[in-house]
Structure 1
Amino acid sequence: MLDTRRMDGSRASWINTTHDWAGAVDLGHLARIRRGPAEFAPGGPGHLVLEVVAYAADEASSRAGGRCAITLHCDGSVSVVDNGRGTDTRVDDHGRIVKKPVMASKDLRFFDSPDAERLPDGHPRRGMSVVAGLCEWLIHTNRRDNGAWTQRYQHGVPVTGLEPVRGDGTTGTLVRFLPVASLNSQAPLTVGDLTRWTAHWPDLEVRVDDRRDSVGIS
């Protein structure tokens, strides 16, 4: 888990860059997302994948390159793993472990912005909370230099705490999610589309692995 001996000061002193450190779970925000799948996941599950990969691309562009693997699983879920720094996780002045609330609160840069960047599918970027809110479940596994943890969400709401994960000497983020059934009736995920879309991020090396027809492989 995280090394709690090194504290990062008061939460009030932490600067909000992408998300509000004071808001762990924004239920109203998540409810709005769930009410508007056509608005927040236009085209279906492919847009959700791009929302996740966009964060890996951000990391790659800031570090002169990075790697990402997308896996399409036989249960209908998708996983995206990268070799970035991992989601920012801190220890406040009371010794409490606090993760940046990327899954359950709005991305301040994009969600309400009429000028939000466009993802490679041509639709606006809204943030990771769109993915969490439009999934039956999502598992966020995080590895940083100062510790590793995993957390499970249902419809965007965390249903576990930060559960410790044994460190393996790597850093990065693994997000595995199952889109809500209504999205799966839209355009199906294809390796061709994902390969073509992710080529728009030149600093990110992306591999796509389709296991949907593999018996006994999850």
Structure 2
Amino acid sequence: MTHWVNTTHDWAASVDRDHLGAIRADVERYAPGGVLHLVLEVLAYADDEAESAGQRGQCTVTLHEDGSISIADNGRGTDTRVDDHGNVVKKPVMATKDLRFFDDPAAPSLPDGHPRRGMSVVAALSDWLIHTNRRTNGSWTQRYEHGIPVTGLEPVASDGTTGTTVHFLCDLPYADVTPYLGFSHLDVAVVRLG
């Protein structure tokens, strides 16, 4: 049986429905300020990836006409492994608790001054979220609705790059993201469509 070291997330389960439900039941706690906080959660994850790679990363935040937001980075992509049965397993960042921050009263603050909780907050509070992952060993996309995967990992053609794109839509209040884009290892550009 496969046993992987849990650092940021518990590899034992791909979805934690109770955890996602608890987030949806307390929006004010987990997404103070609305969509802005969700954007900052995604940018913090991309910043982590750039820092662990020992480089400065690049990220583009795109504000789409339908109210959705996509955030694309040039990192390594989300960790993906193969289990004992040959099944591809991705790190469950969208649908399980971030072990570093979620329950920690001393979790670091994001640039909006509120505690970091992890990517599951973004997924749980989004009507839909599409996670596209590009790694050197393969690329795929997966769709979530309120944090629950509604598709499997669908292969996408390699374009020679690595990185992660998180595209999501939620109906929380929106605030301008540009005053809050200070991350230590990440250069962020904002693109407005429409």
Normalised by the length of structure 1, the TM-score is 0.86
What letter corresponds to residue 185 of structure 2 in structure 1?
Answer: D
Q: Distance in 1 between matches of 2:135 and 2:29?
A: 33
Q: 1:209 matched to which residue of 2?
A: 191
Match of residue 196 from structure 1: 179
Letter matched to residue 75 of structure 1:
D
Contact 1:11–1:22 (8 Å) recurs in 2: no
Is the contact made by 2:82 and 2:88 (CA closer than 8 Å) also made in structure 1?
A: yes
Residue 5 of structure 1: aligned partner: none
SS of the residue 1:11 aligns to: coil
2:56 to 61, 65, 79: 65
Pick the structure with greater CA Rg.
1
Aligned residue runs from structure 1 range 15-94, under 5 A:
15-62=5-52, 63-94=54-85
How far 1:198 moved relative to its partner?
1.3
AA partner of residue 42 (structure 2):
V
> 2:118 matched to 1:127?
yes
In the TM superposition, what whole-angstrom CA distance separates every residue of 1:124-173 from its partner, at most 9, and x where no partner exists?
Answer: 00000000000100000000010000000001000000000000110000
Structure 1 residue aligned with 2:96: 105
Task: Answer yes or no: is the 8 Å Cα contact 2:33–2:175 preserved in 1.
Answer: no
1:174, distance to aligned residue in structure 2 (A): 0.3
Structure 2 segments unaligned to the other structure (5+ residues): none
Q: Distance in 2 between matches of 1:70 and 1:173?
A: 12
Q: Secondary structure at the match of 1:120?
A: coil
Alpha-carbon distance in structure 1 between the residues aligned to 2:150 and 2:50: 30
User: What are structure 1's unaligned runs of at least 5 residues?
Assistant: 1-9
- Report what 1:172 is aligned to: 163
User: What is the CA RMSD across the aligned residues, in angstroms?
Assistant: 0.9
Relative to the length of structure 2, the TM-score reads: 0.97
Q: Is the contact between residue 11 and residue 21 of structure 1 (CA under 8 Å) also seen in structure 2?
A: no
CA contact (8 A) 1:144 1:170 kept: yes
